[in-house]
Chains A and B, each alone.
Chain A
């Protein structure tokens, strides 16, 4: 080590640059704030820290987005403010849900239940697999309602699944969206009536719009054809 003593002397003569006044002022400013200063800021202050943008009319979508970010931060702070034992109690969730609903001046915060995150698998069909959305409102329509219904033959229909779309999954490949085709109401028939052999009526494998009423046009056409042949 004695070989390097002279070199060490020369190196120690090099003096690093001193910190600027600007850096000291910045550190003082940073230390002057409370520790969770950023977490306590409102969405307006996040976008405009100096308050210059308070009078500007905001895009509502931006406000919603900022409000959700701020809500997540509040939730994060709330969880971290609790002790480990308190987190395991059942009251923590209730406490957090209260913190999820802040109200501030001029900020419209969308309730979280309107935009729940659902599994994309629940409404993905062969027809809608290219249309993918993570955020979709839960439908309140009758198709998706969860209620029991007793059919005419006495069989209890299964409960409707809680899905996010009115488009239901159907296993048949011929028509994928059964929920919207008004199958029972208009008595549509998608298969040819195979009883024509019994009744002697030939429909030519066409799709009959109303199977309850035998088509007069088909009967009249048959009669005219027979009259021509005779």
Chain B
């Protein structure tokens, strides 16, 4: 019952999973601080319930659930703030460590994907989940997850790489 901080195992797990979890949470929340709140709450809840770290699908499902709850709870405030400062829309902090211009364009193209395609792409590429785990986390079939992944790559190829 008591998974206290004296156990250092959580630090290893968290340091490995945190970048992908933050990127996954950033799909729903606007700011990195909100994403950190979501990831913190999800990881603490997951760790305290003594779930196996092999069950990554449950961890991502927890992050998704908490992020959606966060969006619903603070939706009104977010709408008001977005209306008040619409010019800050372009100055959203980046989700990736961008080094050159091509990576910046690619990151912008990823942001322009449909949400259901983007979440599958993020889970597959940067969190290295299998299609079975993705399907388990998102409550969809494996074929749906695979097709969304393919559609996402096709859309990226259309937008990023000129034919």
A interface residues, Cβ below 8 angstroms from B: 1, 3-4, 7-8, 10-20, 22-24, 26-32, 34-35
| B15 at interface by CB-CB < 8 Å | yes
Chain B, interface size: which category?
A: 35 or more
A113 CA to B23 CA, complexed, in Å: 52
| B3 at interface by CB-CB < 8 Å | yes
Mark out the residues of chain B between 143 and 163 whose CB falls within 8 Å of any chain A CB in the assembled complex. Answer: 150, 153-154, 156-157, 160-161
A204 CA to B116 CA, complexed, in Å: 87
Please give me the residue from chain A that is nearest to B153 by CB atom.
A4
With A14-B103, A17-B94 known to touch, is A7 a contact of B156 (CB < 8 Å)? yes
B35-61 CB mask vs A (1 if < 8 Å, else 0) is 010011001100110000000000000
A34 CA to B1 CA, complexed, in Å: 9
Question: What's the minimum C-beta distance from A21 to chain B, rounded to whole angstroms?
Answer: 11
Q: Is the CB of A16 within 8 A of B40?
A: no
Mark out the residues of chain B between 1 and 21 whose CB falls within 8 Å of any chain A CB in the assembled complex. Answer: 1-5, 10-11, 14-15, 18-20
With A24-B11, A27-B40 known to touch, is A11 a contact of B110 (CB < 8 Å)? yes
Partner of A31, one of B10, B20, B22, B39: B10
Question: What's the minimum C-beta distance from A65 to chain B, rounded to whole angstroms?
Answer: 23
Known: A12-B125, A12-B126, A18-B97. 16 other contacts (CB 8 A): A4-B154, A7-B161, A10-B106, A11-B110, A14-B103, A14-B107, A14-B110, A16-B95, A17-B23, A17-B94, A18-B18, A19-B15, A22-B36, A24-B14, A27-B43, A35-B48
With A13-B103, A35-B1, A35-B2 known to touch, is A18 a contact of B19 (CB < 8 Å)? yes
Contacts of B121 in A (CB 8 A): 11
A203 CA to B163 CA, complexed, in Å: 109
Contacts of B102 in A (CB 8 A): 10
Mark out the residues of chain B between 89 and 142 whose CB falls within 8 Å of any chain A CB in the assembled complex. Answer: 94-98, 102-103, 106-107, 110, 121, 125-126
Question: What's the minimum C-beta distance from A155 to chain B, rounded to whole angstroms?
Answer: 62
Q: Is the CB of A28 within 8 A of B5?
A: yes
A-B residue pairs, 6 tightest by C-beta: A19-B18, A32-B5, A16-B23, A4-B153, A16-B19, A31-B5
Contacts of B153 in A (CB 8 A): 4, 7-8
Question: What's the minimum C-beta distance from B117 to chain A, rounded to whole angstroms?
Answer: 13
A20 CA to B35 CA, complexed, in Å: 12
A161 CA to B133 CA, complexed, in Å: 63
Residue from B18, B23, B32, B154 whose CB has the most chain A CB atoms within 10 Å: B18
Q: Is the CB of A31 within 8 A of B106?
A: no
Question: What's the minimum C-beta distance from A25 to chain B, rounded to whole angstroms?
Answer: 10
